[in-house]
Amino acid sequence: MIPELGHFSLIIALCLALTLGILPILGAARNNAVLMGVARPLAYGQFVFIALAFATLANAFLGNDFSVLYVAEHSNSQLPAQYRFAAIWGGHEGSLLLWAFILSIWTAAVATFSKHLPEEMVARVLGVMGLVAVGFLLFMLFTSSPFERLLPAAADGRDLNPLLQDPGLVIHPPMLYMGYVGFSVAFAFAIAALIGGKLDATWARWSRPWTTVAWVFMTIGIGLGSSWAYYVLGWGGWWFWDPVENASFMPWLVGTGLIHSLAVTEKRGAFKSWTVLLAIAAFSLSLLGTFLVRSGVLTSVHSFASDPKRGIFILSFLVVVIGVSLLLFAWRAPKIGLGGKFDMLSRESLLLSNNVLLSVASASVFIGTLYPLFMDALGFGKLSVGPPYFQAVFVPLMFPMVLMMGLGPMARWKKMAVPELAKRVRWGFASSVVIALLLPLVLGHWTPLIALGLMMAFWIIASLVISLRSRLSGQGELLKRVRAQSLSYYGMQLAHLGVAVFIIGVTMVKGFETERDVRMNVGDTVQAGGYEFRFFGVTDTTGPNYVAGVGRVTVSKNGQFVTELLPEKRQYNVSGMPITQAAISTGLFRDLYVSLGEPIPESEGAWAVRVYIKPFVDWIWFGCLLMALGGVLAISDRRYRVHSKKAAAVPTEGAEQKLSVEGQPV
């Protein structure tokens, strides 16, 4: 009976979402306080019932209820409990339920933290989010219910894809979905503002913290996914330009543009229509990502559960949501206006250029991802686009972007004289060029790409130092001056530092990695990057639901023992699928990475072994983490705390003004 309760909860949630999508928006149009007032209770109700459905499914997974088709397809009684829980989002139906669940969390959160907003705004925002939920709930109930029965029940389940049986995969999808779905808040604010016809700076101020939170989740989600690929696929790569990776990267790029654009709109009232368009685009790309993953239009490593028939439904939903939004935009756009004026060189112009570059970068990823589909649809034959395209397009776009990223925080709003800016940055620029030219020589390997990468990273760091110095210089105690800067300023700088750290990671690993793929007999050694790896053979072992061969490799440097690594080759009992589990010794400056290839048939005990030295590779994910932390700092800024207390109190104009002096973070 319990799974049916889950299904029933979804139906109730659909009714609530439908009401939420209609009544409050109607109420806002008619200025009817009663109709607007139902928005919050409906949002909470929707959350409760979707949560109930989610709990029901979790219960079925944890209790090994194989009379539920979805559980039988994605779980097994041997599967450890944490993976039985994560298996909820191991397939299509459960992923959708997670999507809807997270959407209901965001909706309830907006309902809770919007006490200071005008009623009609809240009504419209929650209404729009309700309509989005309607689409997903309909999709689930009509084409992909996770509560379908399998009668008679299966004796045991088919097991979760072994690639997904990993701690990273337990948290990666929820994080990523928090990001994807989080952009629905900015979207809902933009649509609400379009409906209301009031596109001033206020909607930007309200939706900014929400957008930043979503962006933080997304950044962490993408970073986790990338590190998973690094240690599970066993080939030492960390980004493959796979369609599904791209599907998450596109909204991230546009979302990054959006948080910057929102800042300009809030502070200066400029780029109003551009910001609205970005808000629509970020969420549209999130929906498109869902479409790409779930419809099977593109083949990819990640399409674990695709079904073309469902594609029609998602596409229709996509057309309705995005089409209507863009029409609304076209209809309302003339009212928006361009906003505040600014000069050729100003913080606005730099931010606008970066916004354009981020959008172009996103568009280029988009074209690369969908190009095979376009060509096929036009009858030009079948082809595929590989990493060379993405690298060729991406790196040239990164360079000007990073250049302006350094200048932006130092430039003034409205107007900045070229000589003044040049004077402020010349030493930073010169030193980053010198370091970039010399450092690779010191490290023993000079290529233009290494130099370029290092230059970009050091330029960001140098401009950060310059900005900090000028902010913190002056009279009196240093600590006081440090405290005087807003948290959002530090947040921005931390996030930018994250980009620098990320670039260092990418540059160093691309430029200096050592890869040795060798056949090793027991007792053989191999030298790589100054380390000696000794292979002690492979012994058999059993895990909870797999059998594995565990290789033992000791690493030494100059005769000194460094570490012992135990790479595994697992074979999962139910699916019979072999999985490589690389053994990695993580270090600040290098990873030692060993993974088992295949046993060599002719000789007993010999294996193909992959030995990689990956310098600075962890900086890639550390950079992502810093970006995310920067976002967290930015939303902890006191003006947001001030805001939430402000409802009853006097407006704290002083605080606002103090924060909008020259050099204000974005």
Contact residues: another protein, CB under 8 A? 163, 233-235, 237, 240, 242, 273, 277, 280, 284, 291, 295-301, 303, 306, 308, 311-312, 315, 318-319, 322-323, 326-327, 329-330, 333-334, 370, 372-374, 376-377, 381-384, 386-388, 517-518, 569, 575-578, 580, 597-598, 601, 608, 610
**Are 104 and 156 in contact, with CB atoms under 8 Å apart?**
no
Distance, CA of 293 to CA of 288 (rounded, Å): 9
Other residues' Cβ atoms within 10 Å of the Cβ of residue 600 = 14
End-to-end Cα, the chain, rounded Å: 53
In the complex, least distance from residue 317 CB atom to another protein, rounded to whole angstroms: 11
**Are 107 and 43 in contact, with CB atoms under 8 Å apart?**
yes
Closer to another protein by CB, 277 or 528: give it: 277
Closer to another protein by CB, 497 or 526: give it: 526
Dihedral over Cα of 340, 343, 344, 349: its sign: negative
In the complex, least distance from residue 576 CB atom to another protein, rounded to whole angstroms: 4
- Ramachandran bin of 243, using left for φ above 0, alpha for ψ from -120 to 50, beta for the remaining angles: alpha
Distance, CA of 53 to CA of 71 (rounded, Å): 14
Closer to another protein by CB, 11 or 312: give it: 312
Residue 196: exposure state from Cβ atoms within 10 A (0-12, 13-18, ≥19): middle
Closer to another protein by CB, 15 or 608: give it: 608
Structure tokens at 4: 């049916």
Closer to another protein by CB, 17 or 370: give it: 370
In the complex, least distance from residue 471 CB atom to another protein, rounded to whole angstroms: 39
In the complex, least distance from residue 295 CB atom to another protein, rounded to whole angstroms: 6
In the complex, least distance from residue 270 CB atom to another protein, rounded to whole angstroms: 17
In the complex, least distance from residue 185 CB atom to another protein, rounded to whole angstroms: 21
Distance, CA of 620 to CA of 504 (rounded, Å): 8
In the complex, least distance from residue 575 CB atom to another protein, rounded to whole angstroms: 6
In the complex, least distance from residue 374 CB atom to another protein, rounded to whole angstroms: 6
Closer to another protein by CB, 128 or 321: give it: 321
Distance, CA of 77 to CA of 659 (rounded, Å): 57
- Give backbone dihedrals phi and psi of 99, rounded to 5 degrees, phi first: -55, -50
DSSP category for residue 412: P
In the complex, least distance from residue 186 CB atom to another protein, rounded to whole angstroms: 16
DSSP line for 168-209 = HHHHHHHHHHHHHHHHHHHHHHHHHHHHHT--SHHHHHHHHH
Closer to another protein by CB, 353 or 575: give it: 575
Closer to another protein by CB, 15 or 333: give it: 333
Closer to another protein by CB, 461 or 596: give it: 596
**Are 557 and 543 in contact, with CB atoms under 8 Å apart?**
no
272-295 and 347-377 helices cross at what angle (nearest 10)? Answer: 30
Other residues' Cβ atoms within 10 Å of the Cβ of residue 183 = 30
Residue 221: CA atoms inside 13 Å, Cβ hemisphere, count?
A: 24
Closer to another protein by CB, 27 or 311: give it: 311
In the complex, least distance from residue 425 CB atom to another protein, rounded to whole angstroms: 35
